[in-house]
Structure 1
Amino acid sequence: MRPSIWFLASMAGSCLAQGDLVGLLSSQTDLSTLLELVGLVDGLAETLSAASNITIFAPTNEAFAKVPRDEPEGAAIENRNETIAIAALLANHVFKGVYPSDVITNVPTFAQTLLNSSYVTATQPFSNITSGAYNGLVKNGDDVCVLSGEETISTVTQADIKLGEGITIHKIDTVLSFGPPLQLFTYRAGYRAMNAALEAADLGFDVGLSGPDQKGLNISDFTIFIPTDAAFDSIGSVLESANLETLQEVLKFHIIPNNVIFSPSLGNVTVPSLQGDNLTFTVLPDGSAWVNNAKITFPNSILFNCVAHVIDTVLAPGEFDRSSLKPSASAAERLSFPSASSVAVLPFTSVAFEGDTMTYTSTPHLLQTIAAVATSRPKVNGTSSTPPLATYTGFAVSLSLDTSATMVMAVAIGVAALLV
């Protein structure tokens, strides 16, 4: 049984039941590649079932053609016989809920897709988010954009194509990317100290550091705060003298388990960390977001099993009094370890996937300037922001998916942990 294939087949077939997706794609000459890929999923035509309230982001032929073939998305397109990879790629373009273009604002909405943890294979971690990987939706001037992994921005070129009662389709100019493992994300310039610290700490679980063939992917659905290299450098003297237990406690304080929290949901609340002490969030009238005394400088990086927020200081376990926050102070003046000083070389060495070149272009301007929070929002409300026009309610027939007690419990824990 290949659950991801049947899952996607049911998804695509459900669209046909409401309005003939294949017929619509056949009528659009710029969607012929998408039509071909959908047709490669075994049993697609035979598994028609009714879906309710989904949004499909349909890459054009040009979008598929420009994907580098050495990336996971490009490999799925190039290797037409890699059915699971194709299924994962397409599932990442199907959002739960109806999102017409007129509900998207300049504060990003992060919506879940049909790409769930059943797509993780021995060679490629497509997603390890239990109930569906996230992508973002945001207004950029007059354009509607989709934010996905690897800092990918896709622009809607034709919006609001209706198919049946509950299907909305938007054409996009760029294929959505899978979220990378945490190791790949933290190997880029500016974040490598966190990469090395996580490797050195040996936390007892895999947070995405050891490569896609690692069998210990036993943590998912979490939020992590990543101090910059400059933040680690500023407390180098503390790190030099820290024992393993201290390092583990500090790093666990940067993780929120069982909850994927994007910045538009943040407010003035406290949330328990994996270490046990509470993290204190603050949203200021200027739109800045803070965790304890650290400013979130780059929010909402979509990874394959979590969301990451970059911060400008290393957090120290312990309770934090929000009234002591000094937002006008520099990062150096807000150190959680006030007696710390920098050192010539940190006591860590970073690691990487063997053979990976780790080349990254500069961060797109939109991601550097996008609103992190809605300033009128009073408190955290879980994982997302603007609700869809219509809520995804699943499929009319049972799907051949892994619904083991473990998966059900993980979903239940995530729901119970929503911040309200």
Structure 2
Amino acid sequence: MKFAVVAVFCFAFAASAHADTVVDVLQKLGTEKTLISLVQTAGLVSALEGKGPFTVFAPSDAAFAALPPELVKTLESNKTLLTQVLEFHVAPGKALSTDLKNNLLVPSLGGSKIRVNIYDTSEPIVITAEGAPVTNPDNTADNGVVHVISQVMYPLPTGTVVDIAVGNKDFSTLVTAVTTAGLVPTLSGDGPFTVFAPTNEAFAKLPAGVLDGLLKNVTALTNVLTYHVVAGAYYEAGLRNGDLLKTVQGMDVTIKTSNDAPTMVNDATIATQVSGTNGVIQVIDTVLIPPSMHYELIYNN
């Protein structure tokens, strides 16, 4: 009897000793060499081999290769920043893809929240984490699960969409307009919001006098600005050709996509996207004018 008990104990110990951790899963995937190297540099291997459970949003090697080389070098040399970035890609608890909901905010190990979105208006369903598409979900480990993503979640969302605009000199005209219209408190709220944000150059493309006229007419200015805002977080990965998104102003904007061209909203090109704590900014190169105001502003100014 004692022998049987010892044998069972030894078997259980051997089984637990060979349990797969999320680190083991990353190694077996074969697409996570860069991530594993950075985890080692940050000294986080032992933590991720712990009891957990953990949910890891794991950028692929291709995702890291798409980053500017100088940023990768900075991450490799700045252990504090590297740790912050890596911890933002890990959440406590085990969340399979079936547990994820649209606009779910998942607390990361670093404290900041990861916004999950699910876009199911067409097949296949797209799951994103801070806009990064999940390409290989539900790789389970004994201490959690790994979801492979095709983008690195960087920069970290540290402020609202208003904070992002205020902190970027390329949006100074937009900030002036939003402030004049009294929309700062609204856009600083919980959201989530998608803001199609024209740069200063986009505003400069307006016919002479149009911007000055808008800044003197709060009603018209508010109509134009709210035509740039959509309720909900629409990252580029979730936008489909022909999508009609209802703006806060009340009218729709039209999404245009193709395989060999940048995504567009109406006639504006989306240059890049930036995550905020209450939504996402889609940077555009042209000011969007509501159709009902187009003739008045563009041709009758």
Q: TM-score, normalised by structure 2?
A: 0.57
Amino acid aligned to 1:202:
G
Confirm or deny that 1:338 pairs with 2:298.
yes
* 1:91–1:206 Cα change, 3 Å: farther
Report which structure shows greater RCO (CA 8 Å, sep ≥6): 1
Confirm or deny that 1:21 pairs with 2:2.
no
Amino acid aligned to 1:32:
Q
Contact kept, 8 Å, 1:112 with 1:135, in 2: the verdict is no
| Structure 2 unmatched runs, 5+ | 1-16, 28-32, 65-71, 118-127
**1:248 offset after TM fit, Å?**
2.4
Report which of the two has the higher share of strand: 2
Counterpart position of 2:227 = 253
* 1:278–1:336 Cα change, 3 Å: farther
1:268 is paired with a residue of what secondary structure? coil
Percent of pairs with identical residues:
16
Amino acid aligned to 1:19:
D
1:250 is paired with a residue of what secondary structure? helix
Root-mean-square deviation (CA, aligned residues, Å) is 5.4
Contact kept, 8 Å, 1:262 with 1:307, in 2: the verdict is no
Q: Tell me, in whole angstroms, the C-alpha distance in 1 between the residues paired with 2:214 and 2:23.
A: 58
Contact kept, 8 Å, 1:281 with 1:290, in 2: the verdict is yes
1:91 is paired with a residue of what secondary structure? strand
Confirm or deny that 1:66 pairs with 2:77.
yes
Counterpart position of 1:317 = 290
Matches within 5 A, 1:158-197: 164=141, 176-181=154-159, 182=161, 183-185=163-165, 187-197=167-177
Map Cα deviations across residues 70-92 of structure 1 (whole Å, 9 max, x no partner). xxx45x65xxxxxxx98545339
**1:308 offset after TM fit, Å?**
2.3
Pick aligned residue for 1:231 from 182, 202, 205: 202
Q: Tell me, in whole angstroms, the C-alpha distance in 2 between the residues paired with 1:180 and 1:285.
A: 32
* 1:136–1:86 Cα change, 3 Å: closer
Counterpart position of 2:244 = 270
Contact kept, 8 Å, 1:315 with 1:336, in 2: the verdict is no
Amino acid aligned to 2:275:
I
Counterpart position of 2:3 = none
2:253 is paired with a residue of what secondary structure? strand
Counterpart position of 1:129 = 115
Report which of the two has the higher share of helix: 2
1:337 is paired with a residue of what secondary structure? helix
Q: Tell me, in whole angstroms, the C-alpha distance in 2 between the residues paired with 1:281 and 1:339.
A: 25
Question: Which structure has the larger Rg?
Answer: 2
Contact kept, 8 Å, 2:269 with 2:286, in 1: the verdict is no
* 1:286–1:168 Cα change, 3 Å: closer
| Structure 1 unmatched runs, 5+ | 1-15, 78-84, 98-110, 139-145, 147-158, 209-216, 321-333, 342-420
Amino acid aligned to 1:237:
D
Map Cα deviations across residues 266-287 of structure 1 (whole Å, 9 max, x no partner). 3123221112122233446863
Pick aligned residue for 1:218 from 166, 169, 190: 190
Contact kept, 8 Å, 2:195 with 2:280, in 1: the verdict is yes
